[in-house]
């Protein structure tokens, strides 16, 4: 057991945290800058089945699903979060 | 700070010869099923909330925000409920969980505005589930000196079976009686059941005037201390835990493991549909994963107790990661079903061995706080899986990057487990060195406690 007074945050924990944050920033910035047409934002909410065709399949007996698309009237790169992703990512 | 030493007799605590610990296990299994029903309800309520012709008509972004709030507050609440469990015992928290469950579910039935959904579902129910999953599950540690692996395995397996039964029940209720009545009934039944079970539940064996299952006559006597001393001991114990690598690595591993299977649980059905499999056929993928995960959930803690947790957890995570490769080539239903069976074994084994690992690393101390941090890691992993998987599919127009991410998370988890200390000995046997003399267990007793834990482990081998 380490006897130092400081809490020793292990390297593996810090590394995993850094990699996950980097991945979120990278993919977030890529999503903001990518030209994806009408593709559905695939956040796989329970009860829905997003597909790459841009339509959500569903139980034929239920009503239409309202799908949130990134291709909305406001450009994502103009939103505060879009700008934040682009500013944080050195690759985009 | 009064300290009294009361010898506790080795008794079963039950007049019919069944040890009280097994009755407690039954109560905890019921609480698990009630707790699992919250996430089951989450999946089922999406369609009515999103139905344009229904009473809500919310878009997926709004519902997604509610689910994100659920993950976020759940992750934040998990360590807090764990700490409360260590401090006050699991019994009052079970009662609080029942009250909160009933209140939240009934309030969800009355939702008309989006902020209400965020508050009732995203905040209140995530705290409720944290109460049901963290301190209650962790309390099994104190009830089983031996066979903790079997007890944990049974608990997780019953949770899996219960969850499979709860989902169709909620769906049928929604069809039969509508939104408001469904959640009122669920709230009254689940909350009432938890409150009723509190009457028969005890946080630890000493509260029932008995000893843990597997306790021996020569085990150290149970010491009943003042609240101040207990609080101090908890503080020093947690401080000692925080100084070990295992304290940080275990939540990391749970997070990586959950991120790995979270992506698959969310996106395997859309992937199958994209490959031309029908929706009905594809829906069996999750059912097969669930069924096979029960075997993994049951076996992993038992094997972890016998063989040591590290190899078992590494194997489970490796299987979870490796089987994802099948999805790169799967095109027919049978290939997806084959994947689901193999993946289910690894996925089930990934999640259920933590209570046994905690015992091996930290002995029989108050471990609900640690388990809370592990659950925090797990829920964060699910949130990360949803976000990163969704973004990767959206950007690339392919499911493959999401599958690669899933494998990356699982295999990273294997590496982190590999880097951990051996579970052959307790990591903080001298944690009482930080206590003032009046709060210590006598050196003799402490020595015997560590020795007893080691003998217990050897016996299991």
- CATH architecture of structural domain B19-217: Up-down Bundle (1.20)
- Tell me what pLDDT residue A62 has: 45
Helix ranges (H only) for B243-332 are 245-274, 279-307, 309-322, 326-329
- Portions of chain B given CATH number 1.20.1250.20: 19-217, 241-418
**pLDDT tens digits, residue range A8-63?**
678 888 999 999 999 999 998 988 887 656 555 556 555 555 555 545 444 444 44
**pLDDT tens digits, residue range B160-195?**
777 677 777 887 888 888 888 989 999 999 999 999
- Of B297, B315, B304, the residue nearest B351 (C-alpha): B297
What ipTM describes this predicted complex? 0.75
Instruction: Among A4, A48, A52, select the one facing B46 at the smallest CB separation.
Output: A48
**pLDDT tens digits, residue range B336-393?**
999 999 999 999 898 888 999 999 999 877 888 899 999 999 999 988 888 888 888 8
In contact, B189 and B99? CB cutoff 8 Å? no
In contact, B284 and B337? CB cutoff 8 Å? yes
Interface test mutation site (partner A, options B40, B48, B50, max chain A beta carbons within 10 A): B50
- Of B95, B97, B123, B94, the residue nearest B108 (C-alpha): B123
Cβ within 8 Å, pair B390-A42 = yes
SS (H, E, C) chain A: CCCCCCCCCCHHHHHHHHHHHHHHHHHHHHHHHCCCCCCECCCCCCCCEECCCCCEECCCCCCCCCCCECCCCCCHHHCHHHHHHHHHCCCC
- Tell me what pLDDT residue A49 has: 53
What's the whole-number mean pLDDT along residues B200-204? 92
Measured distance CA(B367)–CA(B376) in Å, rounded: 14
Q: How far is B29 from chain A (nearest CA, A)?
A: 25
A-to-B residue pairs, Cβ atoms closer than 8 angstroms: 140
Cβ within 8 Å, pair B388-A23 = yes
In contact, B354 and B374? CB cutoff 8 Å? yes
Q: Any idea what DSSP says for residue B7? A: -
**pLDDT tens digits, residue range B293-341?**
889 999 999 999 998 889 999 999 999 999 999 999 998 899 999 999 9
Measured distance CA(B280)–CA(A57) in Å, rounded: 11
Please give the torsion angle defined by the CA atoms of residues B308, B311, B316 and B318, in that order, rounded to the nearest 10 degrees.
170
Cβ within 8 Å, pair A12-B249 = yes
pTM tops 0.90: no
What's the whole-number mean pLDDT along residues B257-269? 89
Measured distance CA(A30)–CA(A92) in Å, rounded: 7
Token code pair at residue B314: 């590494």
Token code pair at residue B337: 């079903």
> Contacts of residue A70 in chain B, CB cutoff 8 Å?
394
- Closest chain B residue by Cα to residue A38: B394
- Tell me what pLDDT residue A71 has: 43
Alpha-carbon distances, residue A47 vs B41, B171, B270, B338, B379 (angstroms): 11, 11, 11, 23, 19
The CATH homologous superfamily to which domain B241-418 belongs is MFS general substrate transporter like domains (1.20.1250.20)
In contact, B317 and B410? CB cutoff 8 Å? yes
More confident call, B61 vs A79: A79
- Tell me what pLDDT residue B403 has: 94
């Amino acid at each position: 057991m380490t006897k130092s007074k400081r809490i020793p945050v292990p390297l593996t924990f810090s590394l995993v945290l850094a990699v996950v944050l980097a991945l979120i920033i990278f993919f977030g910035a890529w999503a903001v800058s990518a030209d994806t047409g009408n593709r559905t934002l695939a956040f796989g909410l329970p009860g829905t089945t997003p597909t790459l065709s841009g339509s959500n399949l569903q139980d034929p007996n239920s009503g239409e699903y309202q799908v949130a698309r990134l291709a909305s009237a406001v450009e994502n790169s103009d939103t505060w979060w879009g700008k934040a992703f682009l500013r944080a990512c050195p690759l985009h | 700070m009064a300290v009294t030493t009361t010898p506790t007799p080795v008794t079963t605590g039950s007049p019919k010869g069944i040890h009280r610990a097994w009755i407690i296990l039954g109560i905890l299994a019921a609480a698990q099923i009630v707790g699992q029903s919250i996430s089951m309800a989450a999946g089922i309520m999406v369609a009515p909330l999103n139905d344009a012709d229904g009473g809500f008509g919310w878009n997926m972004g709004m519902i997604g925000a509610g689910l994100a709030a659920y993950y976020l507050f759940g992750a934040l609440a998990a360590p807090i409920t764990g700490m409360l469990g260590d401090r006050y015992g699991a019994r009052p928290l079970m009662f609080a969980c029942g009250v909160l469950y009933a209140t939240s579910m009934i309030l969800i039935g009355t939702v008309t505005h989006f902020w209400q959904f965020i508050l009732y579902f995203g905040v209140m129910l995530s705290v409720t589930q944290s109460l049901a999953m963290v301190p209650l599950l962790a309390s099994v540690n104190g009830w089983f000196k031996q066979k903790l692996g079997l007890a944990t395995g049974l608990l997780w397996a019953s949770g899996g079976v219960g969850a499979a039964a709860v989902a169709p029940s909620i769906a049928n209720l929604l069809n039969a009686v509508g939104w408001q009545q469904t959640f009122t009934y669920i709230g009254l039944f689940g909350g009432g059941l938890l409150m009723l079970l509190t009457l028969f539940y005890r946080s630890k064996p000493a509260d029932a005037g008995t000893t843990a299952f597997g306790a021996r006559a020569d085990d150290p006597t149970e010491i009943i201390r003042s609240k101040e001393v207990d609080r101090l001991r908890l503080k020093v114990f947690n401080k000692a835990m925080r100084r070990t690598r295992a304290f940080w690595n275990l939540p990391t591993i749970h997070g990586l493991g959950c991120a790995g299977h979270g992506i698959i649980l969310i996106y395997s059905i859309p992937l199958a549909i994209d490959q031309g499999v029908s929706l009905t056929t594809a829906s069996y993928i999750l059912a097969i994963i669930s069924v096979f995960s029960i075997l993994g959930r049951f076996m992993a803690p038992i094997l972890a107790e016998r063989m040591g947790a590290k190899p078992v957890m590494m194997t489970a995570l490796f299987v979870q990661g490796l089987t994802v490769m099948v999805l790169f080539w799967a095109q027919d239903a049978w290939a997806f079903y084959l994947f689901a069976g193999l993946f289910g074994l690894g996925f089930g084994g990934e999640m259920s061995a933590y209570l046994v690992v905690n015992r091996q690393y930290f002995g029989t101390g108050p471990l609900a706080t640690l388990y809370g941090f592990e659950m925090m890691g797990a829920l964060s992993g699910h949130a990360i899986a949803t976000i990163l998987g969704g973004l990767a599919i959206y950007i690339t127009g392919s499911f493959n990057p999401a599958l690669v991410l899933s494998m990356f998370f699982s295999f990273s988890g294997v590496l982190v487990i590999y880097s951990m200390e051996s579970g052959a000995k307790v990591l903080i046997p001298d944690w009482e060195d930080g206590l003032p003399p009046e709060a210590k267990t006598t050196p003799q007793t402490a020595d015997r406690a560590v020795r007893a834990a080691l003998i217990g482990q050897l016996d299991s081998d």
